[in-house]
Structure 1
Amino acid sequence: MTKRKIYQVIEVSQKMIKTFPKQGHNRVVFNATFFRNGKKLNSIDEAMVSNFSPLVRNYEKSENPDKVKIEFKDLDKNSLIWSKTFLWNESEDSTNTSSNFSGLGEAEVNELVQRKFAEMEKNKDLKFMSSEIDRLKSLNEDLAFQVQDMEASLDAKKQIEYYTNIIGMALPGLAKFFTGSPVANAINFLAGTEEQPKTIEQNNIKENSPEQRETILEMISGFCQTMSNQELGTMYLLLSEIEKDRNSLKRILEFITQQSLVQTENQ
């Protein structure tokens, strides 16, 4: 059976299927019996008319018949609605193909259009999904950079808070150690405290010149800035003890001097 013949079977049958609802037949099934050289081949029995075209084409390809009988039945009434036998031979096919070819039937054209439309919709969906994937990838990269920046900012903030706490604990003690000097005013300002005037006894201590005093204070301040956090904390504790007993300064100096002399003698 040629394609033109099977399309003719489908076209004629599809036209009849459209008339059934108008005739009051709502539940319709069909039978299709295939023959070759007078011999009955496989058949389709009581299949739904919505599957008519694909089933008939598939059976035609597998059976290669030269005759097919189509029947439509009403399930509710159990009655035959329409029946037709399509018969042809190879010679007739050759002659008719060259002289009376009329193209595809309405059913086949509609099916091809629907298939093409479905393919176009599928391609459109694929393009949209590909575009969405690219957009989400770009958004993900931007978010990753933002997370890195936020993590870096958080680490920096933690470091600042840590050093601020260390300095905040050390500044009050340093301010008391430099009482009466401009350095004490600055330290008190940074510590958030006010310098309390305190009379410092000057028993047998010779006043240094203002320039020398400023130089010494700058050296002490510069040395403190080079300390590590641990060293700065130790310095704070040391100054707190010295504040309680100023004579501790002499004892500390004597201890350091004695250690230096012992090391020199051992050498």
Structure 2
Amino acid sequence: MSYKSLIIAITEVSLDRAAINQAAALAARFDAHLTGLYVYEPPYYRYPLAYPNIADIDPEAASGKDEATLAAREAFDAACRAEGVETNEWRFVRGETLNTLALHARYADALVMSGGDLAARLAIVSSRPVIAVPEADRDRTLGQRILLAWNASREATRAATAALPLMIGAEQVSVLTIDAEGSAHRDLGDNPGADIALYLARHGIEAEVRRADSDSVGVAETLLTEAVEMNADLICMGAYGHSRLRELVLGGVTRDVIDAPPPVPLLLAH
């Protein structure tokens, strides 16, 4: 089991360098094909009234020859050279950012990009796992110390299976259940975390089970604290177990983790 096709989504090179470097390192680790995907969204897509004349659009930006796009291409090529990723390609695409990225992601094993709300939204609409890398995460090795946030939900299950290639070669894998006691978490069974740990063991992955109570600080903060304590370099979690709209209005774990922001990369699946 391995990743064989990865995409690095580039939207702003000044913010995406950490993600670009991590994507190249992952491609080298799995001998995977890496696609650098730069999406140019014409401003009239979002502000049609401000651009009544399409001819007003910068022709260099629209053709991928502007300074920002060329800098992104240079960063992508440099990362591939540094990691020895020979099977790579560059794509410049015009279109609406979310749907264009989602469409291309469906033909890859995972999408790598900078963290933020767009990454979580892509996990929903693309049906592919998204690895969201914090801007400051440039030198850390990704996927050697993995924390799986487990609540036996559909979303958490998809995150766990999407992360299997990373877990198989990891130094440490921990399964974390939070507030697992009580009737609200009957799906976790009498020994919370044990069932998913057994599933991982059948894939040759030795996972420890950690249990925590959120008390008054909340689930998201408890999750991030546990990640720091175990020196995790990747958190795997389901994204938006409730609807995104509900989390935007009422709050939720996904929203709280993204807004924190997280100190380490996230693997998000929906």
Q: TM-score range by the shorter chain?
A: under 0.3
| TM-score (normalised: structure 1) | 0.21
| TM-score (normalised: structure 2) | 0.21
Larger Rg, first or second structure (1 or 2)? 1
Q: Which has the higher contact order (CA 8 A, sep 6+)?
A: 2
Which protein is richer in helix relative to its size? 1
Which protein is richer in strand relative to its size? 2
